[in-house]
Amino acid sequence: MIFLQIRWDYNTMLKKGRRREDVFNDLQKFKKMDMSYSSGRILGSMCTDPDSVGLEAYKMFIDTNLGDSGHFKGTATMEAEVISSLGRLLHLDKAYGHIVTGGTEANLMAMTVAKYLFEEQHDTMPELILPKSAHFSFKKICSMLSVKPVYVDLDCDYRMDVSQLEGLITENTMAIVAIAGSTELGLVDKIDEISEIAFSNDIYLHVDAALGGFIIPFLNNENNNKYNIDFGCKGVTSMTIDPHKMGLAPVPSGGIIFRHRHHLEKLSVKTPYLTKDKQTTIVGTRTGASTAATWTLLNYYGIEGYQKIVNDVLKLTKYTYNKLQKNQQIKLVCKPELNIISFTIDDMDVDIIKNKLTKMGWSLSIAEYPHAIRLVIMPHVKKEHIDLFINDLNQSLQEY
C-alpha cells in the first residue's frame, strides 16, 4: 500500500516539485521498508554498519571525483597513501592500485590485466583456473572478457584441491585465482603452495582476499603465522581487499593492489582533456569519498584497532559455533577459519528452516556447496542477537 501511494506521488512530482517535508516523509517510509544492520537480524551479509568516523570522512569528501583527480589533489594523495598502507599490510613495500567500488570491480581489473598480458603472446582463447569456491563475480568476468573458466575441485576441507592444479595448466592458461576467505565458508586456500606452482610455471596469480584481506593480517600472531596469503608469496601478482567488508568503510569501497607498476599501467587510457593525462581504472568518474573513509579508518583504528575488531568478531563466531554444536541435529560443515559458519540439519530441508526463520525476522543466506545455512558474523552482530537466533532456530527445529 505504502509503495502504491509513493508511486502515485512520484507521478505528481514530475509535473511540479514537492515540499521538502513531504519528500522526506516518503523517504522515512522507504527507510522503514529496509532492514537495518543495527537490528542484529542480518546474519547473511558481508557488509555491516559503516563506522561513524569513516562515515564522517565520507560525507566530507562526497563532492570529490578521482576520475579527474587534478581537481582533488588532496583526495588523490589520500588514495596513494591508502594503496601504500594496504600494500604494506599485505607485505608489499611498493604497491600500485586503486580504491574501487568493490570486489567485483577489483577482480575485473586484475583479470583484464591478466588478459592483456596473455594476448601479448597468444591469439588463442584464454583460460582461467579457479576453485569451485570462487565468488560469482568471476562468472561475470569470464563472460565479459570471453575467458574460459577451468574449475578446480575442492578438497575434503572445501579448499582448492592443489593436487589438481598442475594438471589443469595448459599453454592457454591466462591466470590462476586463489581465495583468501571464500564467500560461502570463509575458508582460505593454500596460497603459498598455489603461489609456488604459479611462479614456477610463470602464470599470473590473483588472490581474492575481498573478505580475508581485512581479517587475516589482524589475526593474533599464532593464527597469523599460519597463513601466507599475500605478496609475501613470490608468485602472487595482484590482490583484492575490500574496505567495505570487514574494513567497516561505507559501500562502495573495494581495493585492488598490483605488485608491479607495469601491470596497473596495462589499464592506462589517455584522457586528453582532463586534469590528468591518463586513467588506470575501468570507471571514469568515481567518488573519492570511499578513499577518504578508508584512509580515515586505517589511521583512526590502526593495526591494534582492527585487531580488536577482528578478535571480537572471531570470538563471537566461536561462541556461535559452540552453541550450534550443542544441538545434536545440527551438522556443522567445517570449523570456521574466519567469520562464516555453515550448517545442515539432520533429515531436514535447510530451505524450509531458512524460510521459517525468515518469517521470524532473520535474514540468512544459503550456501550452494554444500547446501547449508550460512551465517556471516559481522561487527553489527552481538552476543544477544546470537542467543535470540539460536532460540528461534531450536524452536523451528522442534516444530519441523
Which residues of the shown chain bind ligand 0PR in the complex (CB under 6 A)?
45-47, 102-104, 107, 135, 137, 179, 181, 183, 208, 210-211, 242, 254
Supply the DSSP symbol for 211: T
Residue 100 Cβ, how far from ligand 0PR at the closest point, in Å? 9
Q: The C-alpha cell of 317 is what?
A: 563466531
Residue 281 Cβ, how far from ligand 0PR at the closest point, in Å? 15
Strand partners, 240: 208, 256
Cα within 13 Å of Cα(245), Cβ side: 29
Matching residue, cell 569501497: 253
Handedness of CA 114, 115, 119, 121 (dihedral sign): positive
Q: Kindly tell me which of 105 and 192 has the beta carbon lying closer to ligand 0PR.
A: 105
Residue 211 Cβ, how far from ligand 0PR at the closest point, in Å? 5
- For residue 314, report the phi and psi dihedrals to the nearest 5 degrees: -70, -30
> How many Cβ atoms are within 10 Å of 112's Cβ, its own excluded?
17
Q: Kindly tell me which of 68 and 216 has the beta carbon lying closer to ligand 0PR.
A: 216
How far is 184 from 209, CA to CA, in rounded Å?
13
Q: Among 93, 317, 307, which residue's Cα sits nearest to residue 214?
A: 307
Residue 368 Cβ, how far from ligand 0PR at the closest point, in Å? 11
Let me know if 328 is exposed, middle or buried by CB neighbors in 10 A (0-12, 13-18, 19+): exposed
Residue 338 Cβ, how far from ligand 0PR at the closest point, in Å? 11
Identify residue 302 by its one-letter amino acid code. G
Identify residue 295 by its one-letter amino acid code. W
Q: Kindly tell me which of 45 and 85 has the beta carbon lying closer to ligand 0PR.
A: 45
Residue 183 Cβ, how far from ligand 0PR at the closest point, in Å? 3
CA dihedral in degrees (221, 45, 85, 56; nearest 10)?
-120
Q: Kindly tell me which of 37 and 199 has the beta carbon lying closer to ligand 0PR.
A: 37
Angle in degrees, 0-180, between the axes of helices 383-398 and 289-325, rounded to the nearest 10: 50
Q: Kindly tell me which of 203 and 241 has the beta carbon lying closer to ligand 0PR.
A: 241
Residue 46 Cβ, how far from ligand 0PR at the closest point, in Å? 4
Q: Kindly tell me which of 68 and 184 has the beta carbon lying closer to ligand 0PR.
A: 184
Q: Kindly tell me which of 194 and 210 has the beta carbon lying closer to ligand 0PR.
A: 210
Residue 308 Cβ, how far from ligand 0PR at the closest point, in Å? 23
Q: Kindly tell me which of 46 and 198 has the beta carbon lying closer to ligand 0PR.
A: 46
Helix extents (H) in 279-336 = 289-325
Q: Kindly tell me which of 48 and 68 has the beta carbon lying closer to ligand 0PR.
A: 48
Contacts of 387-395 with CB under 8 Å at 24 or more apart are 387/323, 388/40, 389/43, 389/357, 389/362, 390/320, 390/323, 390/324, 392/357, 392/360, 392/362, 393/327, 393/353, 393/357, 394/327
Residue 135 Cβ, how far from ligand 0PR at the closest point, in Å? 4
For 132, 229, 318, the CA distances from 373, given in Å and listed in that order, are 18, 27, 17
Q: Among 218, 222, 226, 223, which residue's Cα sits nearest to residue 246?
A: 218
Residue 102 Cβ, how far from ligand 0PR at the closest point, in Å? 3
Q: Is 97 helix (H, G, I), strand (E, B) or coil?
A: strand
Q: Kindly tell me which of 37 and 321 has the beta carbon lying closer to ligand 0PR.
A: 37
